[in-house]
Structure 1
Amino acid sequence: MTDKHSAEQAYSDFSKRLSYGDYLRLDMLKSAHQPITQAHDEHLFIAVHHVSEVWLELIVRELQAAMSLLEQGITDAPLKMLTRVVRAQEQLTNAWEVLKTMTPADYLQFRSAFGQASGFQSQGYRMVEFLLGNRQAVLLRPHEHRPDLHAPLLAALQSPSVYDLTLRLLSARGLPVPAEVLERDFSQKYELNEAVLAVWLTVYRDTETYWDLYELAEKLLDVEDNFRRWRFNHLTTVERTIGFKRGSGGTSGAGYLRGALETVLFPELWEVRTRL
């Protein structure tokens, strides 16, 4: 008698069925892994960046879905989506720990092979930045040669960020968010506004009345907190791998990344803690 828990019970004929590899198109996925050199660690370098790009794509989809619902005044489902963003960000951050096993000597064996290619040119990462509100038009330039990549980024640059939509939601709930904030030029980076801070103080001082808005604010802060952690791990990985050499994409490398750590996406949500 065959044990019902035995592997013998598993499906084995996939001549007319969709298999795991077929469903995930693993042949296509693995075919993209094409090192340029014979260096052992180039495989690691490509794998980490491939995996990171897949996580970034998921984060973009979840942010866009959450933003679409926030625009409709819905808060419960976006909270779940933003929680998923936070978990995906954790995976992105952990990827640096794997890459840190590559020493400077390992990296130098293949670094020159990919020329000016750099994570600075990641459309996925740039889209995440734009959706979260870190807006700089100059960051569109590396994508001008690819209209299919440039157009979505330009649209995101000119549209409300997830925080802008949150402020619109506060206004729709009757809270006094200034018109100049709601109707601002979205292509510009958001700056702290005292009137908006006063609105958040109202929310944080009466969480029972504004529970969903308070919860949304805390979830956004989780997202920014993880965004900062990712950037810090990026910086330390670069420093221990190439020190303060110029980055392959043309930036100052570690110096540029260190400056980026000063970016604040949701300033009132940080400042409200001081003012409470």
Structure 2
Amino acid sequence: MAEPYDPVREGAETAFEHAMSYGDYLALDAILSAQQPLSAAHDEMLFIIQHQTSELWMKLMLHELSAARAAIASDRLAPAFKMLARVARIMEQLNSAWDVLRTMTPSDYTRFRAALGQSSGFQSWQYRLVEYAAGNRNPAMLKPHAHRTEIVALLEAELARPSLYDEALRAAHRGGLPVPGDVTERDVRQPWQFNTGVESAWRIVYADPEAHWALYDLAEKLVDFEDYFRRWRFNHVTTVERVIGLKRGTGGTGGVPYLRRMLEVELFPELWRLRTTL
């Protein structure tokens, strides 16, 4: 019979009175004590962890999107591709998380929904930063955060910074594409509007990928990101309808009708529409 495994025999560290442990490094005491259900309902723990982990993934997504934009702005496209590929995988994780939440039935949710008060995912400032970074820039969405001046400052700073798409179009212009000047010099605080000149510029890339491979790869990375983002929105609305039907959201939104409207938002419309005319 084999002896029980003893990590000390392999030289594993087991004394942490004066050394940093795994839990110390990850601040697990703070993370694992952050789940404080407000009801006795069994499924409230699922609801809390689902949303807390989503916020952690969004924090990483913002880290990657910020670095990707900086890389694109300095024409270092290869590092940006890796960052954007990571963002797509993060979105895949966020999409998979809905499968876990969908194990909660309407009866389960009603047992603790009242405890949420007026709180809602609609108020996630990190999600708003992701949307702003991607280019869906609606200044009206600052209002839910007006009570937190430091959060408003973060959102305002994001609005003042070129979005991911703005940086991509500036890079395309520097790369020789005929991107209209009113696009590269536009007020980046404003929501993106479809531009036929931009579609024509991207069509040049897609008509001859080999001659514009770096920009072709950049365009497809943007499409990957929006593809996963659309799936996330679809999974969101489907999960909400499955759990609460057509009830209004806890934060006062229209619930499913509001989320369905969000499905119509296009981040990079030219990259999708040119496919029809290739």
Alignment partners' CA distance in 2, 1:204 and 1:70: 19
Aligned counterpart for 2:131 among listed residues 116, 129, 132: 129
Partner in structure 1 of residue 7 of structure 2:
7
TM (norm. structure 2) is 0.96
Partner in structure 2 of residue 87 of structure 1:
89
Q: Deviations over 1:108-130 (max 9, x none)?
A: 11101121100000011111000
| Structure 1 residue identity aligned to 2:167 | L
Partner in structure 1 of residue 264 of structure 2:
262
TM (norm. structure 1) is 0.96
Aligned counterpart for 1:54 among listed residues 50, 53, 56: 56
Partner in structure 1 of residue 254 of structure 2:
252
Q: Tell whether 2:203 aligns with 1:201.
A: yes
Question: 1:60 offset after TM fit, Å?
Answer: 0.4
Question: 1:52 offset after TM fit, Å?
Answer: 0.3
Question: 1:22 offset after TM fit, Å?
Answer: 0.6
Q: Tell whether 2:170 aligns with 1:162.
A: no
Alignment partners' CA distance in 2, 1:104 and 1:115: 17
Question: 1:6 offset after TM fit, Å?
Answer: 5.3
The share of aligned pairs that are identical, in percent, is 53
Alignment partners' CA distance in 1, 2:34 and 2:204: 51
Partner in structure 2 of residue 144 of structure 1:
146
Matches within 5 A, 1:97-246: 97-246=99-248
| Structure 1 residue identity aligned to 2:127 | Y
Q: Deviations over 1:138-182 (max 9, x none)?
A: 111111111121111111123211001100011111211111111
Across the two proteins, how many residue pairs are aligned to each other? Answer: 274
Return 5+ residue gaps in structure 2 as ranges. Answer: none
Matches within 5 A, 1:64-79: 64-79=66-81
Question: 1:185 offset after TM fit, Å?
Answer: 2.1
Alignment partners' CA distance in 2, 1:253 and 1:170: 39
Alignment partners' CA distance in 1, 2:188 and 2:113: 37
Q: Deviations over 1:16-47 (max 9, x none)?
A: 21111111011111121111111110000000
SS at match of 1:160: coil
SS at match of 2:199: helix
Return 5+ residue gaps in structure 1 as ranges. Answer: none
Question: 1:7 offset after TM fit, Å?
Answer: 2.9
| Structure 1 residue identity aligned to 2:34 | A
Alignment partners' CA distance in 2, 1:130 and 1:36: 32
| Structure 2 residue identity aligned to 1:269 | L
SS at match of 1:208: helix
RMSD, aligned CA: 1.3
